[in-house]
Amino acid sequence: MFEVVNSIVFFIIAIGALITFHEFGHFWVARKMGVIVLRFSVGFGPSIWKHVPKNSHTEYRIAAIPLGGYVRMLDGNLDEINDELRPFAYDAQPLYKRSAIVAAGPLANFLLAALLYGAVFAIGTEGIRPIVGEVVSGSLAEMSGFMQGDELRKVDGRVNRSWEQHHFHILNKIVSGSVIDYEVSSQGAERIVTVDFSQLGQVDLNSGSLESLLGMYPEMPLIQAIVGEVVDGYPAQAAGMQPGDRIMSINGEVVRSWVDLVSFVSNSAESALLINLLRDGEPIEILLEPRTVEVDGKQVKQIGIKVNPDQQFSNSDHIVVIRYNPIEAIARGFESMWSTTVLTVKMLYSLLKFEQSADSIGGPIAIADYAGKAAQAGVNNFLTFLALLSISLGLLNLLPIPVLDGGHLMFHLYEALVGSPPTERMLVWANQIGFALLIGLMGLAFYNDLSRIF
């Protein structure tokens, strides 16, 4: 129940922030262009709160349905306007001003994404040192010449300080099937490793991680074999195991890490396990019989304990923190925004060519789920999620579909080329088609959401 409430709360926070910033883009530019704004609404439907400041034409409003918003401007096509107010109407403005007002909403989303990324870089991001721990046999990484122990110093000439630092740049190269150069250091010697992603052929990014596509995994820090949680009804609980217990050995075999622990338990041939552990510095022996369960179609043994994801790694040398001063952080933020936007456009193009699965399209339920999980994972994760969502919202609104900002810009382009706006009949037909396309897209998103649940 807590997770559901948490997801709903952070969904409203995320959507509310992005919509407000988007609509403020329209609002701010409209005011700068001398257009009277009658209403600034976050949400649709019945009003929850509204306010009209003194000596102002604008009603500020929060509505009940938090799935959008709008800026209602004075417009001769909708309002009866006297001669005094006519110069301040939207439809009285020249084409370039109307286009600037329409484009301001999506551009505000891109600006917000850059600022959010900048905040993440200023706060500091924690990552894994860029050292190769495993190269899969027969993989693209092996064919390219990577070896275990290689330190990835630069990626296409960019200094690389963590395994994840240039994630979106690499994904861009994968989607476009391009070549990427890694500057690698190993035992004091440096060399260039060139990876040609065109060898992967058509890639569905939903089918696996970047590491699995490349066939190369980082050298991971050892996670101590300390119990984070004891699962109800499992052998560990029945035997009296407690959170905080540090497992030292199993049936005489020394346990150095959580990986050792999982391996010993799941692969043990004995029916009973003698576990030696430390509790508050005192040695304790526990005898238990693991339970056999089915995981992904395989029979494995479990004792019913979970790792604490917040526990310290036993080798902190594997962890790096990347932090920039405010000016450089903002610059990095704009760079990340651009890389993410380009990648998203390429993904959309691949989707239209049926090269990517439509399963990746998510609706409100998926967004709420991701929002809740990102918030639980920490401030940086939530800010990064907001940045990705803001870019998606900006691109969605730029699609040339009537009723969206991109549709209005399409009409403005028609007006610029022809010399007159589209006829009333053209607008009616275009809006009906656009509405149908939008309903279809929303239907697909809801279908994917429900498919993930059921």
Active site positions, annotated: 23
Contact between 228 and 306 (Cβ < 8 Å): yes
Collapsing DSSP to helix, strand or coil, 88 comes out as helix
Q: Which of 405, 408, 396, 385 is nearest to 345 (CA)?
A: 396
Contact between 340 and 113 (Cβ < 8 Å): yes
- Phi and psi angles of residue 169, each rounded to the nearest 5 degrees, phi first: -65, -45
Using alpha carbons only, what angle is made at residue 45 by residues 44 and 48, rounded to the nearest 5 degrees? 95
Question: What's the rounded Cα separation, in Å, for the pair 239 and 242?
Answer: 9
Question: Token pair for residue 279?
Answer: 């509790």
Question: Token pair for residue 428?
Answer: 């009616």
Question: What's the rounded Cα separation, in Å, for the pair 40 and 370?
Answer: 28
Query: Which residues contact residue 116 at a Cβ distance below 8 angstroms, ignoring those fewer than 6 apart?
Result: 333, 383, 384, 386, 387, 390
Helices (H), 39-146: 95-123, 140-144
Contact between 364 and 14 (Cβ < 8 Å): no
Question: What's the rounded Cα separation, in Å, for the pair 339 and 172?
Answer: 8
Whose structure tokens read 């407000």? 20
- Read off the DSSP letter of residue 131: B
Q: Is 367 exposed, middle or buried, given 0-12, 13-18 or 19+ CB atoms closer than 10 A?
A: buried
Q: Which of 22, 16, 74 is nearest to 43 (CA)?
A: 16
Contact between 138 and 132 (Cβ < 8 Å): no
User: Helices 326-352 and 95-123: crossing angle, nearest 10°?
Assistant: 120
Question: Token pair for residue 17?
Answer: 């922030």
